[in-house]
Amino acid sequence: MLSTHLLKLMVFGFIPFACMQKNVSADKTAAISSTKNGTAVPAEDLDVKNLETATLAGGCFWKMDACYQELSGVAKVAVGYAGGNLANPTYKQVCTRTTGHAETIEVQFDPKVVSYKTILEVFWQIHDATILNQEGNDRGDDYRSVVYYHSDAQRATAEAVKAQVNSSNLQGAPVVTTVEAFKNFYRAEDYHQNYYNLHQDEPYCATIVAAKVNKFMKLYHDSLKRNKVAKNTSTSNVFPDKIEKVVKTPEAWQKSLTKQQYYVLREKGTESPFKNAFWDNHEKGVYACAACQLPLFDADAKFESGTGWPSFYQAIRKNYVTEISDKSHGMTRVEVNCARCDGHLGHIFDDGPKPTGLRYCINSESLTFEKK
């Protein structure tokens, strides 16, 4: 089994043979990270002026990032390095294990929605802290377990939760996590941010990281942003979680779609603004994929964007659409496709309204509309 350390070195080209295979992937990540989030985990209406910060080291930071992003009450997660002696270290420097840094995440959360105590309970659920300087297969002091507290209150809570973890024997052995005063945190390179969500198909993410994320999602099911937002969406229970892929030849698609639909959906075309069916439609109902009829957007999530294209702040379900980096026409954008038939829908931007802050800018040609 590859350690995360070795894998990351391979992925980002520090080991030459892998460099050639994976450069594209790192490049893509950097492009998407330039948007606010790169993934459509729904944002919440939080008190952003009164956020509290938790700084935690718990092994590979990709997994930590992926879990906390999903937790209700968390406004922002950044991955980086803490506890070392060098200012603004690079990943390569940290990997030499001479700088003293640990892979660390910085979680900004709204304490009125999620408590620091819960943040810490999650922390000890999602990493193995029983062996010094080791987490799973990842060995080295950069994978050590530390709570960096920002106040006396955080320190007291950390000591109390740690004592509880040990008295309940949560991890089957005492945890060796240290509780230390926060000194510094340096944000890691963009390609490490939101890594899991952007590389879920890579073997390490699909196995080791996914296992931890899935465990977290089960344990904290009712505390996930997606479930809290879904509860407020009238259509949330009508649509199944799993979707069957629809795959057809270009000839078959040509037969079932109009010329314009084919141009947009299969050739990634863009229709004219203000001269399309739904940009100005204000009726209640559901918009589905014109190619495979998968329901994609509820009219309740539609808003007036002024662009001349139908715009939505969220999809009916996160997994009903896929997002990929699009560098065509000299721009870097995130393309949105139908997850069932891979038909092109439009693009996603991070300048939308609450509650998600997202704008799905969609071609009418990609949609059909069913009135409620």
Q: How far is CA 46 from CA 113, 151, 220, 352, 355, in A?
A: 8, 22, 19, 16, 9
- Does residue 361 have an active-site annotation? yes
Question: Of 123-131, 266-274, 282-290, 303-311, which part binds Zn ion (CB under 5 A)?
Answer: 282-290
CA distance 11 to 82: 22
Instruction: Please identify, among the stretches 6-14, 226-234, 320-328, 332-340, the one whose residues bind Zn ion according to the rule CB under 5 A.
Output: 332-340
Total residues contacting Zn ion by CB under 5 A comes to 8
The two tokens of residue 30 are: 């950097």
**Which pair of structure tokens corresponds to residue 330?**
């000299």
In whole angstroms, the minimum distance from the beta carbon of 294 to Zn ion comes to 5
Cβ-proximal residues to 89 (8 Å cutoff; 6+ apart), any chain: 81, 99, 101, 186
CB nearer Zn ion, residue 316 or residue 341: 341
- The β-bridge relationship of strands 145-149 and 178-181 is parallel
Minimum separation from the CB atom of position 315 to Zn ion (A) = 12
| Residue with tokens 């991070």, as numbered in its chain | 350
Q: CB under 5 A: which stretch of 189-197, 198-206, 285-293, 325-333 binds Zn ion?
A: 285-293
Tell me: does residue 338 bind Zn ion (CB under 5 A). yes
CB of 96: closest distance to Zn ion in angstroms?
48
Cβ proximity to Zn ion: between 121 and 342 the closer is 342
Catalytic residue among 60, 95, 205, 292: 60
CB of 300 vs Zn ion, minimal distance in Å:
21
Q: How far apart are CA 88 and CA 271, in angstroms?
A: 45
User: To the nearest whole angstrom, how small is the minimum distance from the Cβ of residue 316 to Zn ion?
Assistant: 13
Can residue 79 be called a binding residue for Zn ion (CB under 5 A)? no
In the stretch 340-359, what mask flags binding to Zn ion with x, by CB under 5 A?
Answer: xx-x----------------
Say which of 67, 95, 292, 361 is annotated catalytic. 361
- Nearer Cβ to Zn ion, position 57 or 289? 289
Handedness of CA 134, 139, 141, 147 (dihedral sign): negative
Which residues 6+ apart lie within 8 Å of 115 measured at CB? none
Residue among 12 and 287 whose Cβ is closer to Zn ion? 287
**What does the alpha-carbon distance between residue 205 and residue 37 come to, in Å, rounded to a whole number?**
18
Q: d(Cα 191, Cα 278) in Å, to the nearest integer?
A: 37
Could you give the maximum distance between any two Cα atoms of the chain, in Å? 68
Contacting Zn ion within 289-318 (CB under 5 A) = 289, 291-292, 294
> Which residues on adjacent β-strands are paired with residue 371?
285
Residue with Cβ nearer Zn ion (71 or 291)? 291
C-alpha to C-alpha distance for 276 and 285, rounded to whole angstroms: 18
Stretch that binds Zn ion, among 142-150, 181-189, 216-224, 331-339 (CB under 5 A): 331-339
Whole-number Å distance between alpha carbons of 315 and 301: 8
Q: How far is the CB of 287 from Zn ion (least distance, A)?
A: 11
Residues that bind Zn ion (CB under 5 A): 289, 291-292, 294, 338, 340-341, 343
What residues are annotated to the active site? 60, 361
